[in-house]
Amino acid sequence: MKEQRRNWKKTIRNGALVVALLVAAPITANLTAASEQEELQSIQHIYINDQYIGKVSGEKFIEETKEQLINEASEKNSELHYVIKDDVKIVPEMTFTGKANNKELAEDLRDAFTVEAQAHVVKLDDYRAMFVKDEAQLQRVLHKMKLDYVSEEDLKKLEQGEEIELNEQSFTLVNLNFSHQIVTEPATTTPTRVVSDEELYEQLKNGVAQQTYVVQDETTWEAVAEKHDLTAAHLQSMNPSKEVTQGTELIIQRHSPKVTVEQVYEMKEKVDIPFEKVKENDATILKGEEKVAQQGKNGVQMNVNRVRKSNGERVGTSIANEEIVTEPVPEITKVGTKEIPSRGTGTFAWPAVGGYISSGMGYRWGRMHEGIDIARPSNHSILAADNGTVKTATGHPTYGNYIVITHNNGYETLYGHLSSIQVRLGQVVSKGTKIGVMGSTGRSTGVHLHFEVRKNGALVNPLSVLR
């Protein structure tokens, strides 16, 4: 609108000038003498942003106009400071005939100037997003956004750099940032583009959609900028490779991304470190036997669990740190590798754990008692009297559950009336190995062990070989 009004007035002035020249030509000679007697006057031709505006009688009028425009802007919004940055060129001329009419030029001069507010541009990741009065306004709004998701107390601790103590009961706020780097730098813009706290809050929270404009009959950046309340410099910065021609699509509002508040919380947690189970070969232990040499114990690890939130919504979890408090103790089991000798030594160990001979070998009740009976032991375990191989492990009407071990040296031993058998046929056993449990199966009058010894098939009194 300003440019159209200026062009219209300029056309009228130029037309009048042509008419005046045509009319004046025939009488130039008559006026020459009179002109020589007129005073020589000084006028100034004014160019603003390389566009000719007109002529004035002095620079003071230009400064007064600028001051008046700034005062008018201040009356509308006194919180901002204003400047006029237009490039003004003054071309002086000494003339007899040219007269400057400041009043006629006043409106054109006002239209040519652009009043800009001294402000700060908010940049999101180096992208110019919006304009604010100053840095303090931005920080005020950012503080408000933070308090949407954290308490004033937690935020104060964080911003003052207080030492943060983590606990095992709840998560503690340890960091708070924004999804984009947000900074400001001094800039100028049209006053109406400086946003309020509420507008800034909404634009940061929700983002701003990109807006475009298709050039109509405008021919300059200034004309398009004026229509959309922009400065020409700002408009050009958003459209660096374009020209102002009819039909050209120009960006008049860039997309501004939504800014989210990113919170990080941490909490300590003790967790067990499972102990390892280790098996080690041991040549001192018979093959097939295992002994736990060291009991296992879980270790303790202190984890720092981390939770990340965006605008209060959980978006990720991780373990920020792991610290071992107590190392786990492995369980060590000794595995026997010692080969069990299948050949007996020829000397026999007591086949029970304690006890006494309740009946010896010999005739009784008219029948031969072919071994000895052992009763009342300290426990009921039955032990192999010597190394050997299990020849029999089964049940019998007289012996009940019984075992026969061949000692591969001509000797055999028999263990009768067992309540249970704990070896298998063909198993190699060593002297002292538990092979069963004392009982009262078969033809028996009470819990006892019936023990027999044979050599090359002939009965041997056990008492003669037991040591």
Q: β-strand 331-338 against 277-286: which pairing, if any?
A: parallel
Q: How many CB atoms lie within 10 A of CB 150?
A: 18
CA angle 261, 267, 272 (to 5 degrees): 145
What is the predicted pLDDT for the residue at 228? 81
Q: Homologous superfamily of 119-163+178-253 in CATH?
A: LysM domain (3.10.350.10)
Distance CA 117, CA 186 (A): 11
Question: Which residues, including other chains, have CB under 8 Å from residue 98's CB and lie 6 or more apart?
Answer: 41, 43, 55
| Helix, strand or coil, per DSSP, at residue 287 | coil
What is the predicted pLDDT for the residue at 256? 66
pTM of the model: 0.57
Question: Which residues, including other chains, have CB under 8 Å from residue 198's CB and lie 6 or more apart?
Answer: none
As a three-state string, the secondary structure of 265-313 is: EEEEEEEEECCCEEEEEEEEEECCCEEEEECCECEEEEEEEEEEEECCE
What is the predicted pLDDT for the residue at 457? 95
Exposure string for 381-409, b = 16+ CB within 10 A, e = fewer: ebbbbbbbbbebbeeeeebbbbbbbbbbb
Give me 405's structure tokens: 């071990």
What is the predicted pLDDT for the residue at 175? 95
Q: N- to C-terminal Cα distance for the chain?
A: 129
Distance CA 442, CA 397 (A): 5
Distance CA 322, CA 430 (A): 50
Give me 206's structure tokens: 């929700």
Please list the residue range(s) of the chain that carry CATH number 2.20.230.10: 261-338
CATH of 261-338, one of 2.20.230.10, 3.10.20.30, 3.40.50.2000, 2.60.40.1220: 2.20.230.10
Question: Which of 440, 435, 442, 359 minimizes the C-alpha distance to 396?
Answer: 442
Distance CA 238, CA 250 (A): 8
> Do 377 and 354 touch, CB atoms closer than 8 A?
yes
CATH 2.70.70.10 for the 352-464 domain, yes or no: yes
Residue whose tokens read 């947690």: 269
| pLDDT profile of the chain (467 residues), mean per 10 | 48 38 36 50 87 86 91 91 91 77 84 92 86 96 95 92 89 94 93 93 84 88 84 85 90 78 95 96 87 96 95 92 96 90 92 96 90 97 97 97 96 98 95 96 96 97 94
Please list the residue range(s) of the chain that carry CATH number 3.10.350.10: 119-163+178-253
| Helix, strand or coil, per DSSP, at residue 375 | strand
- Classify residue 190 as exposed, middle or buried by CB count within 10 Å of its CB (0-12, 13-18, 19+): buried
Give me 245's structure tokens: 């021609």
Name the E strands within 327-438. 331-338, 352-353, 356-359, 362-364, 367-369, 372-375, 379-383, 388-396, 400-406, 411-421, 428-429, 434-438
Please list the residue range(s) of the chain that carry CATH number 2.70.70.10: 352-464
What is the predicted pLDDT for the residue at 42? 81
Give me 212's structure tokens: 């475009």
- Classify residue 265 as exposed, middle or buried by CB count within 10 Å of its CB (0-12, 13-18, 19+): buried
Distance CA 317, CA 312 (A): 14
Q: How many CB atoms lie within 10 A of CB 377?
A: 19
What is the predicted pLDDT for the residue at 255? 63
What is the predicted pLDDT for the residue at 279? 96
Task: Read off φ and ψ for residue 53, nearest 5 degrees.
Answer: -105, -45
